[in-house]
Amino acid sequence: MFSSKSKAKIDLDRAQGSTARAPIPVLRPQSEKRRGERKGVWCVCTLYSQDGATWEGIILDVSKSGARIRRRTRGTLPPIVKIKASRIGLARFARVVWQTTFDAGLEFVAPAKKKPR
């Protein structure tokens, strides 16, 4: 392949006559599992955990059921966070559905009710 030898000619008759026993699989995109239309935004947000930790980030897109965010720092988020973005009027609790080094997908949830005393 990387040698300096002369290239051999390809036998086209032999190549056309070969039959593959197994068909080549065709990769199709997976169907979308999102419930709502996503709207692309670029908005600063703050994430809060129940123990008081905070993270700054940017909302990349948002829908009725959730949001995709990008954080400034590495690390993992807790399972439930509160997300606030004053520019778009967002202040909700969210469940972390997936996360990578900097990005995370959030699903909005109802706030947990406090137990009566």
The answer to whether position 55 is within a domain reads yes
Has residue 43 been placed in a domain?
A: yes
Give residue-wise pLDDT tens across range 80-105: 999 999 999 999 999 999 999 999 99
pLDDT at 41: 87
User: CATH no. for residue 76?
Assistant: 2.40.10.220
In a domain, 57, yes or no: yes
pLDDT tens figures, 30-78: 555 656 677 888 999 999 999 999 999 999 999 999 999 999 888 899 9
Look at residue 114 and tell me if it is in a domain.
no
Distance between CA 74 and CA 58 in Å, rounded? 14
pLDDT given at position 24: 55
Is 60 inside any structural domain?
Answer: yes
Q: Which range marks the domain in which residue 82 is found?
A: 39-109
Q: Look at residue 76 and tell me if it is in a domain.
A: yes
CA-wise closest residue to 105 among 81, 74, 73, 72: 81
Residue pair 45/84 in contact (Cβ under 8 Å)? The answer is: yes
* 57 compared with 23, residue with greater pLDDT: 57
Domain count, the chain: 1
